[in-house]
Structure formats: C-alpha cells, structure tokens
A and B are shown apart, each in its own frame.
Chain A
C-alpha cells in the first residue's frame, strides 16, 4: 500500500514539475518582453538620428535643449522633498496608529486608498482651493500632493513591514530598557523597516519622475511636462529625455540602496571589530 501511494505521489510530483517549469518559463519570457521591449525600443529610438542611423546626437542635443536641466532638477528636488515627507510624516503616523490606536488601522487603509478613487484633477483643484496662500507659492508645492497620491503604496508597504515584526513586544522591550518613543523609532523600528522604506522610496521615485497631470495643471515644468512639450518638436530628444529620467530614477534608487547597504556593512564591521 505504501509503495502504491509513493508511486502515485511521485507521478503527481513529476507532472506538476513539468507543467510548472513550462508555465514558469512562459510567464518569465512574457514578463521579460513586457518590461524590456519598451526599454529597448525607447533606447534604440533615442539613439537614432532623423535619418534612422545610430547616433548619440539626441543625447548631446538633450543637454543643450532649453529647459531640460531645470525640469530634471525640479523633478529630482520634488522627489527628495516628497521622500522627506514620507519619512517624517507618513512613517511615524503609520507606526503611531499601528502601536497606539490599532483600531484605526482599517480606517487608515481606507483613507490611504482615496487617492486611487478620486482623479488627480480633483485633488489638484481641492488643494488650490483649500491650501493656504503661502503653501501655493512654495516652489515645491506639488510635493504635498505627491505625498497624498503615493499614500496607497507607501502605507501598504510600511504596514506590511510592521506586520512582519513583533512590534508590540519589541517596543515594550525597548521601553523597559529606558527608551523614549523617538529612540524606539530611530534605533529599533526604522532600522527593522529598512526594506519597507526602500520599497516606499522606490515607489515615490517612480511616481514623481512620471507624474504629468498635476504638474501640467499647476504649470510646473517638471520632467514629464517638459518631455510632453518637447515631443511635439523632436521625438528623438524627448524619448532620450524619458530614458534619462528613467536612468535618474534608477540612480536615486541605487543611492537609497547603497546608503542602506553601507549602514548595514558598517554596523557589522563595527560589531565584529569590537
């Protein structure tokens, strides 16, 4: 009886493995094409001149194009301001609710989904109508709106990071050793949420470098706005700009990852050398 069962199990396992491998291969191939094809096409197009020959002229022209550097800088600055907002406003709020008012977690989830429910145009109009005048003249006044729009991703990412930890006991342990809330946040929670924070940063970077509607409505010359405008005069240069913005987003993300890696390596070395 045991032998028969074993044989059946082996057969089922083999067929699962065969179909599973094939399915995995197909899904991976499709995903590869889906992600790589646009990158390849964009890169190829941006590295062609008007005659269709390979050339770096678009990238050369891009640096000289009027308004490119300013728009790239503005998008980068907006990304950094939004990330600071996430780190100092959203993260402590989510942690506070998780720890002190867990009954509000559900409400937080619902509220954080609102930016998906309402079209960005409504958020812009609401902001313009309700925000104090001083905020509207602030050069980075798009950042608060970006903060709201990235809430669905950021809140979820931090919530899942918190759920992976026994936060309540860690906090109690730290408190019993003499930590205040800010020490707990800085020394216990944030270091253990680094993966969630990196994921949040990635989402913020990707979002800010590609957001068009709000910036256009507010007439702020961010990179996506500049690309859309320039596309009318030169497709090659605007595509090159889009590829550069993608590269910029990757560089920023790499910086975030490198900072985390350096912090971890330093800590390990310090601990080992002591």
Chain B
C-alpha cells in the first residue's frame, strides 16, 4: 500500500447549471499528483458539484475533467478508478466491515487471499483490524467513516475524493480523523480533493485551498497565503474573522486609527468612503481613560481574549493576550499593526452581508 501514488487532476473551464442556476461558472483547477486540495465555500457555492463532476456522478454542461493524461469527462464513474468517502458514511449495511473493504477488490476479481491480506492491512492502518467481523450498525460514526476510508483506499485509486467526510462527527472524533486522513494521504502520496465548508478543517489539512463562491474560484492558494493575503473581500470575510472599519480612502491608502495604511492590491486611485477589513490579531488594544473606543464584550478563548470594541467607525474585534485584563465597559485606544489592508466598497459590503 505504501507504493500508491496519485495522478494529476485538471478541471478545465467547467460549467454546470441546475434548472438555470449556475453551480459551476467557468471553474478551472489543477491538482498536482500527490497534492491535497480542499474546496472550501458556503452552501451552494458549487464545491460538491465540482467534486461530483470529478467522480463522474454528473456530466458538466461544458468543460473537461482530465486525470493524468486522460480526458474522463464522459467516462462513467465506475471506470474512473477513484475512491470516494461521503458525509453519510455510505457503508453497505448488509456487509461486514471486512466485506465492505473488500467490495471493490471483489469486483476487480482479486484473489481471496490477496483480498483478505489487503483488507486486513487497511483495517490495521485505520485502527479497526479487531472490528472486521462487525456490521456497520455496530460501529460508531467515526469508526464507520474510517471503514469508508479503508474501503475507498482498498482499490488503490488514482484520486481520493472526500465529500465533507467529517461533518457528521463530533468535535473530538473529527479532529482525530482529520489528522489520520492527513497522515494517510501523505504516506500514500495520493492525489486528494477534499470538500468542506469548515475553514479550520480546510486550512489545517490542505496543501492548497480553493475558496469557492457562486461557482467560481475566488482564490486558490496555500492556507497561510489565504489567511494572511486574502485576494478578495469574500475570502477575507469567509476565511478567518474580519471586522469592517468605515474609513476614508485617498488614492492607494486609507486612514485606520489615525495611521495611513497602504491598500492591498490597490488598482485604482479613487477617493471616498470604504470599509477596511481588519483581522482581530492585527488590532492592538491599549487601556486609556481618554480613548474614544469602548469595550462592549470580552470572550475568553484560552490563550487569548477576543474583545468587541465600539468605535465611531464600527464595531471592531480584537484579540489580546489572556494576561491582558480589559473588562467590558472600559475605554481603550486602538492601533493597527499590519503593513497593508484589504478594503471593500460600501456596495460590496451590502452584497457580502446578504450572503
């Protein structure tokens, strides 16, 4: 099993509509062999449609899906050589754990002894070798999902597709299984596409993250870039936490807490009112009786405390160390420590709030 490695996957200008509503709008993505890419976005953004197009469960209205050097757009799903794990476990209830894992191997007429040793190896890999004779209804949700993962890996697929596999699990199991998936994926160097609406999941597991909105890729980059350098206001708002600070733009800079800050990706030199999008960790809070900002609420997060601060320019969220005592109702001064800032126009703000 250690020899498994993946093929590249290319989604080339995919278009797909459901009853006139665009689910994929000229969606393009290239996944390198052995890479783990997460498709992240809100409900209805097209991420599952993209995954189903790769799996062969739907044929896109136009565009191509290429795996390795082969165009598989019109190839039926059973001939695509892909493994898939679903949100709802999808184990066959009439088959034991072992028979579930061996299902794909049986179809490929793998001999009984090889089948048995392969299923044992995979069940050991996911820590369920002692549960082989049990039936799906006798397992917990996390165990069922591990079996589903073993079943998908058993056929040594070129590509592993994960459709929100952790969404139905509780927080602790989700975190454990996430680490297990990541470790297995690295060990097998298997090309993997992971669909999720959970940003923490996407950022922690993926080599690259595709943030999707309205059937399009808003940004495709590493988790670090995505968080620190969001390309669009949608990404800035969807990934991580941002506060909206109403300020005056003059050319390529805006005034934030009395400091002139360069606008990130500024492509015009206009002036007027805009919203600056501030990350909580970029806002510095200093207690001051003469300050114009007032702390509305503080929430303890363990290593830090998140404050909600009311300013004349909007409500700003700021993270301060847990050791810094700032109580609700106290007056503070704010400053901004990042080199640049992303802005949104006021019209864009309305649109984003409606999402």
- What residues make up the interface of A, taking CB atoms closer than 8 Å to B? 165-166, 169-170, 172-180, 183, 187-188, 191-192, 267-268, 271-272, 274
Which residues of chain B (162-218) have a CB below 8 Å from chain A? none
Q: When chains A and B are docked, how far (Å) is the Cα of A271 from the Cα of B78?
A: 26
Closest beta carbon of chain A to B295's beta carbon, Å:
37
On whether the beta carbons of B90 and A172 are closer than 8 Å, the reply is yes
B40 within 8 Å of A (CB atoms)? no
Nearest residue in A to B91 (C-beta to C-beta)? Answer: A173
On whether the beta carbons of A175 and B77 are closer than 8 Å, the reply is yes
By size class, the interface of chain B is: 20 to 34
Q: When chains A and B are docked, how far (Å) is the Cα of A267 from the Cα of B94?
A: 9
In the complex, which residues of chain B have a beta carbon less than 8 angstroms from the beta carbon of A187? 92, 103
On whether the beta carbons of A176 and B84 are closer than 8 Å, the reply is yes
Nearest residue in A to B112 (C-beta to C-beta)? Answer: A274
B82 within 8 Å of A (CB atoms)? yes
On whether the beta carbons of B93 and A179 are closer than 8 Å, the reply is no
Q: When chains A and B are docked, how far (Å) is the Cα of A165 from the Cα of B88?
A: 11
**Partner among A170, A172, A180, A268 whose Cβ is within 8 Å of the Cβ of B92:** A170
On whether the beta carbons of A172 and B86 are closer than 8 Å, the reply is yes
On whether the beta carbons of A169 and B103 are closer than 8 Å, the reply is no
On whether the beta carbons of A191 and B94 are closer than 8 Å, the reply is yes
In the complex, which residues of chain B have a beta carbon less than 8 angstroms from the beta carbon of A174? 92, 103
Q: When chains A and B are docked, how far (Å) is the Cα of A173 from the Cα of B151?
A: 10
**Partner among B83, B99, B108 whose Cβ is within 8 Å of the Cβ of A176:** B83
On whether the beta carbons of B90 and A271 are closer than 8 Å, the reply is no
Contacts known (A169-B86, A179-B107, A271-B133); A188 close to B99, Cβ less than 8 A = no
Closest beta carbon of chain A to B251's beta carbon, Å:
53
Write the B134-169 contact mask toward A (1 if CB under 8 angstroms, else 0).
000000000000001001100100000100000000
Can you give 13 contacting A-B residue pairs, CB < 8 Å?
A: A172-B55, A172-B57, A173-B86, A173-B91, A173-B148, A175-B78, A176-B83, A177-B104, A187-B92, A188-B94, A192-B94, A271-B99, A274-B98
Which residues of chain B (59-97) have a CB below 8 Å from chain A? 76-80, 82-84, 86, 88, 90-94, 96
Q: When chains A and B are docked, how far (Å) is the Cα of A176 from the Cα of B56?
A: 8
B116 within 8 Å of A (CB atoms)? yes
On whether the beta carbons of B133 and A176 are closer than 8 Å, the reply is no
On whether the beta carbons of B90 and A166 are closer than 8 Å, the reply is yes
**Partner among B79, B90, B98, B116 whose Cβ is within 8 Å of the Cβ of A173:** B90
On whether the beta carbons of A178 and B107 are closer than 8 Å, the reply is yes
Most buried by A among B76, B83, B90, B161: B90
On whether the beta carbons of A176 and B94 are closer than 8 Å, the reply is no
On whether the beta carbons of A177 and B90 are closer than 8 Å, the reply is no
On whether the beta carbons of A176 and B93 are closer than 8 Å, the reply is no
In the complex, which residues of chain A have a beta carbon less than 8 angstroms from the beta carbon of B155? 177-178
Contacts known (A178-B78, A271-B98); A173 close to B107, Cβ less than 8 A = no
Q: When chains A and B are docked, how far (Å) is the Cα of A176 from the Cα of B160?
A: 10
Q: When chains A and B are docked, how far (Å) is the Cα of A176 from the Cα of B80?
A: 8
In the complex, which residues of chain B have a beta carbon less than 8 angstroms from the beta carbon of A172? 55, 57, 77, 84, 86, 90
**Partner among B88, B93, B98, B103 whose Cβ is within 8 Å of the Cβ of A177:** B103
On whether the beta carbons of A169 and B88 are closer than 8 Å, the reply is yes
Which residues of chain B (21-36) have a CB below 8 Å from chain A? none
Closest beta carbon of chain B to A177's beta carbon, Å:
4
In the complex, which residues of chain A have a beta carbon less than 8 angstroms from the beta carbon of B78? 175-180
In the complex, which residues of chain A have a beta carbon less than 8 angstroms from the beta carbon of B133? 271-272
Starting from the known contacts A177-B78, A177-B83, 19 additional A-B residue pairs (CB-CB under 8 Å) come to A166-B88, A166-B90, A170-B90, A172-B86, A173-B84, A173-B148, A175-B56, A176-B78, A176-B82, A177-B104, A178-B78, A178-B79, A179-B78, A180-B78, A187-B92, A192-B94, A267-B94, A268-B96, A274-B98
In the complex, which residues of chain B have a beta carbon less than 8 angstroms from the beta carbon of A179? 78, 107
On whether the beta carbons of B94 and A177 are closer than 8 Å, the reply is no
Nearest residue in A to B155 (C-beta to C-beta)? Answer: A177
Q: When chains A and B are docked, how far (Å) is the Cα of A244 from the Cα of B56?
A: 55
In the complex, which residues of chain B have a beta carbon less than 8 angstroms from the beta carbon of A173? 84, 86, 90-92, 148, 151
On whether the beta carbons of B99 and A177 are closer than 8 Å, the reply is no
Contacts known (A188-B92, A272-B133); A177 close to B107, Cβ less than 8 A = yes
Nearest residue in A to B151 (C-beta to C-beta)? Answer: A177
Most buried by A among B55, B84, B108, B148: B84
Most buried by A among B76, B107, B152: B107
Q: When chains A and B are docked, how far (Å) is the Cα of A268 from the Cα of B98?
A: 11
In the complex, which residues of chain A have a beta carbon less than 8 angstroms from the beta carbon of B98? 271, 274
Q: When chains A and B are docked, how far (Å) is the Cα of A192 from the Cα of B49?
A: 28
Q: When chains A and B are docked, how far (Å) is the Cα of A267 from the Cα of B99?
A: 10
Q: When chains A and B are docked, how far (Å) is the Cα of A105 from the Cα of B330?
A: 63
In the complex, which residues of chain A have a beta carbon less than 8 angstroms from the beta carbon of B152? 176-177
Closest beta carbon of chain A to B173's beta carbon, Å:
20
In the complex, which residues of chain A have a beta carbon less than 8 angstroms from the beta carbon of B99? 271
Q: When chains A and B are docked, how far (Å) is the Cα of A146 from the Cα of B104?
A: 39
Q: When chains A and B are docked, how far (Å) is the Cα of A172 from the Cα of B88?
A: 12
Closest beta carbon of chain B to A103's beta carbon, Å:
12
In the complex, which residues of chain B have a beta carbon less than 8 angstroms from the beta carbon of A176? 55, 77-78, 80, 82-84, 152, 161
